[in-house]
Amino acid sequence: MRYLTTLFLFCLLAASAYADQAAYTVRSTEIKQQPYSDAPTVATLSEKTSVNILSREGGWMKISSGQGNGWVKMLSLRSNSKATKSGDSGLQSLLNAGRADSRGVTVATGVRGLSEEDLKNARANPRELEKLQRYAVDKSQAEKFARGAKLKTQQMDYLPPSGNS
């Protein structure tokens, strides 16, 4: 649950500095008329298709391409800008969870824009939590998605419950 909340906050806090950024698809993906999974499909882009990002709304990017204009899921895109890699800004910075050096990857997590005081004074919002829980999937749904996205299996240990070290 903590992971979903962190991921949700991360996506909300990401800057919308994506306009006119070149990117490419990392998998075959549908262009939708609106930023919704059940919206009508405009076209289907094959893997490694170049697109131009126009704007962002939630987890969706408005794009233009030679095959059509519309909305694609944000995680179906990768930036191909060299400035992004060296300056760590734009779409790639949203998808980066760490910084690589000669010794490997150093993971850096956190919440930008919220002070320690903000976090201490935060209050639960049951309505928003209920919305967030609608995105939860069971193991079989997650495995089906992973197979469709050609993801590799990786064993991860569970985090200890809160308050335990």
Structural domains of the chain sorted by starting position, each given as residue range(s) with its CATH number in brackets: 16-106 (2.30.30.170)
Give the position of tokens 């006119």. 20
Average pLDDT of the chain to the nearest whole number? 75
The answer to whether residues 106 and 82 touch, using CB atoms and an 8 Å cutoff, is no
Q: What percent of the chain has pLDDT over 90?
A: 22
> pLDDT by residue (tens digit) across 53-100?
998 888 889 999 988 899 999 888 988 754 444 444 444 444 444 444
Dihedral angle sign, alpha carbons of residues 100, 111, 14, 135: positive
| Amino acid 5: pLDDT | 56
- Closest C-alpha to 55, from 99, 90, 104, 98: 90
Q: Is 92 helix (H, G, I), strand (E, B) or coil?
A: helix
> How many helices (H) and strands (E) are present in the chain, helices listed first?
6, 9
Q: How do residues 106-124 score in pLDDT, each as one tens digit?
A: 444 444 567 788 878 888 8
